[in-house]
Homo-oligomer: A and B are copies of this chain.
Amino acid sequence: MQPQSGSPLRGSRCRKLAEQQPFMEEQLIDSTLEVIRAALQSGRIQDAIAALTKLHPTDRAEAFSELDDQAQSAILPRLDIPSTADLLEELEDEEAADVAENLSTERLADVLDEMEPDEAADVLGDLPPETAARALAEMDDADEVIPLLSHPDETAGGLMTTWLVTLRPEETAAEAIEKLRSAELEPEGPYYLYVIDDSERLVGVVGLRDLVIAKPQTPVRAFMDPDVKSATTGIDQEDVARLMSRYDLTALPVVDDAGKLLGTITVDDVVDVIEEEATEDIYRFANLHDADLAIDSPISISVRRRLPWLYLSTLTALFASWVISNFEAIFEQVAVLAVFQSVVAGLGGNAGTQSLAIAVRAIALGEITIKDIWRTIVKEAVTGIIQGISVGLIAGIGVYLWRGSPWLGFILGMALIGNMLIAVIVGTVTPLLLKALRQDPALASSALVTAVTDCAGFAIFLGLATLLLPLLTER
């Protein structure tokens, strides 16, 4: 049996998170790895397994994945079914699939039976179709997993587990407790019990605490809460996370379109979603469109996933160069323009990225809706003009003092005002527009915003300079 998820009971021996030692578990894993490697070298495989299983399942999976292939293949066949199930639940998706492929069909089926249905479905989804079909055929609890296979990973249906204890309104508290007791074989502890009617439609929820303090003969109907929030299977995981976080929910039941109860989503899955989405947003800001990419990814993957966006940036950069090339002759007359053109482009990019971050985050946290769009744009435009004047004045005066040319300072200042106005509007409008088109707002990566602010910055600055060329050359 794996320990209860969502419970602080899962035990490793490390007790108190010592102050100033946030990376304590790393040390524990490292020292355990040393013990395991030493044991394996002297052929004491049981000692290695004992050291590994002493760790918390989370740490155990991390330690296991740091072992080399040879060590993994030595340990894997000797792990018991529950520990193997723990391992598959805690490993990253790809690694879990690798491990699963190395098990015999029979063993894999036993392990999948032991796993939470939603985790088992995830592993099955990552396996080659024939392997998955063979394992499903051997499984005892295939019926718990099969309905989950049809839901995309990133929806409410893909997040939910089907392990539920359901009650009927007419049952008594004593009967409910008896049900809970006999459901003990499934250790994934429900902290809420859902109440369904004759058509299996969700009609209420009972908290364990209410059950404990209810008199034994009270019917469930009397202490259930009929106002229960639920999600339909197709809802995006981001909206599930937003809903659960907004209303401080620790569990969310999932129903089909007719209101029939299908499963439940627990808060620990949602915490993972929130972290995943935050990584995704930050990555998109940095022109990385793959949240799977981690610092320990192999170089080949790392390069392959970063390069496409660098190529795109190369294209936009060359386009900005083309904008400049239209003014090329001016540099032969006023070389100093080449010195300052990047100031206008760069500061526009900064201001645009600020607006973009605020808008992307406001959308992610549900703080802004499409109806606010005009008010927001006007507000940002005013902000952009004020910022442009503030920065333009300082930079313009600074450059005038440095280079002694008042007109150069004037052109720089004016170009900054214009480009900042464009920057904040592009930074704000693009993600809102993407949201309205039902696209990911963070797709408006800063690359797009800086491409616009680069081109606009060069065009405004060099255009103004061309217009005022006689004034610039007369000094």
Which residues of A does B touch, CB under 8 Å?
Answer: 4-19, 22-23, 25-26, 56, 58, 177, 180-181, 184, 189-192, 205, 207-209, 211-213, 225-232, 234-236, 239, 242-253, 255, 257, 259, 267-268, 270-272, 274-275, 278-279, 281-283, 285-288, 293-296, 299, 302-303, 306-307, 309-311, 313-314, 317-318, 320-321, 324-325, 328-329, 331-332, 335-343, 345-347, 350-351, 353-354, 356-362, 365-369, 372, 376, 379, 382-383, 386-387, 390-391, 394-395, 398-399, 446-447, 450, 454, 458
- With a cutoff of 8 Å between Cβ atoms, the chain B residues found around residue A299 in the complex are 379, 382-383, 386
A207 touching B227, Cβ below 8 Å: no
- How far apart are the CA atoms of A62 and B391 in the complex, in Å? 35
Residues A338 and B343 in contact in the complex (CB < 8 Å), given A22-B242, A311-B391, A357-B282? no
CB distance from A22 to the nearest CB of B (A): 4
- How far apart are the CA atoms of A310 and B353 in the complex, in Å? 11
Residues A255 and B16 in contact in the complex (CB < 8 Å), given A207-B9, A294-B362, A343-B318? yes
CB distance from A31 to the nearest CB of B (A): 13
B252 touching A8, Cβ below 8 Å: yes
- How far apart are the CA atoms of A144 and B346 in the complex, in Å? 53
Residues A207 and B7 in contact in the complex (CB < 8 Å), given A235-B19, A346-B317, A395-B318? yes
Closest to A224 in B: B9
CB distance from A109 to the nearest CB of B (A): 25
- With a cutoff of 8 Å between Cβ atoms, the chain B residues found around residue A318 in the complex are 343, 395, 398-399
- Describe A's contact surface by its main secondary structure: helix
A8 touching B249, Cβ below 8 Å: yes
B230 touching A15, Cβ below 8 Å: yes
Report which of B247, B338, B347 forms a contact with A338, defined as CB distance below 8 A. B338
A180 touching B205, Cβ below 8 Å: no
A347 touching B383, Cβ below 8 Å: no
Report which of B207, B271, B294 forms a contact with A271, defined as CB distance below 8 A. B271
- How far apart are the CA atoms of A40 and B115 in the complex, in Å? 56
- How far apart are the CA atoms of A342 and B295 in the complex, in Å? 28
B353 touching A286, Cβ below 8 Å: yes
- With a cutoff of 8 Å between Cβ atoms, the chain B residues found around residue A25 in the complex are 246
A306 touching B387, Cβ below 8 Å: yes
Given A17-B229, A303-B383, A317-B342, 16 more pairs with CB closer than 8 A: A8-B250, A9-B207, A12-B229, A191-B250, A208-B208, A208-B209, A244-B271, A245-B271, A245-B275, A282-B361, A283-B357, A318-B398, A321-B340, A329-B335, A335-B338, A346-B450
